[in-house]
Amino acid sequence: MDALKLISDSSLKKEAPVVNVGDTVKVHVKIKEGDKYRIQIFEGTVIAKKHGGINETFTVRRVAHGCGIERVFPVHSPVVDKVEIVRSGKVRRSKLYYIRSRVGKAAKVKEQIR
């Protein structure tokens, strides 16, 4: 068990993004097309964080053309190039799954003033 912990600690990103639930983020994702890579930006609200350590993930939700899209990103994945925080949200829940059933302004998260 200790050997597994050592391996997981060495493969962690040095500068892991610090995202919180309710934040609006831009996730820069590397996409391979043939033998080249390009960066695609996925912008949305963080609705959940799960696990911890090497297995840590966060779920980002956005609405595109009237259809809700959710994507789960591992924090320490080499596919995730960087994460920009557009605005920080003020929430009182650790999971914002209730936003899935909301439409329009009801699906908004208030901005936290820092």
Q: Structural domain tally of the chain?
A: 1
**pLDDT < 70 stretches in the chain:** 1-11
* Residue 4: predicted pLDDT: 59
What per-residue confidence (pLDDT) applies to 86?
96
Q: Does residue 55 fall inside a structural domain?
A: yes
Q: Report yes or no on 114 lying in a domain.
A: no
Q: According to the model, what pLDDT value does residue 6 have?
A: 67
Could you give the C-alpha distances from 75 to 13, 40, 79, in angstroms and in order? 8, 16, 10
* 24 is a domain residue: yes
Query: What's residue 2's pLDDT?
Result: 65
Q: What's this model's pTM, rounded to 2 decimal places? A: 0.88
Answer whether residue 112 is part of any domain: no
30: containing domain: 2-107
pLDDT of 110: 94
Evaluate whether residue 43 is within a structural domain.
yes
- Does any domain span residue 33? yes
70 domain-assigned: yes
Four-point Cα dihedral 90, 30, 77, 44, nearest 10: 20
What span, in angstroms and rounded, lies between the C-alpha atoms of 90 and 104? Answer: 18
Q: Residue 54 is part of a domain; what is its CATH number? A: 2.30.30.790
By the 8 A CB rule, do 91 and 22 touch?
Answer: yes
Residue range 3-33, pLDDT digits in tens = 656 666 666 777 888 999 999 999 999 999 9
pLDDT of residue 35: 96
Residue 97 lies in a domain: yes
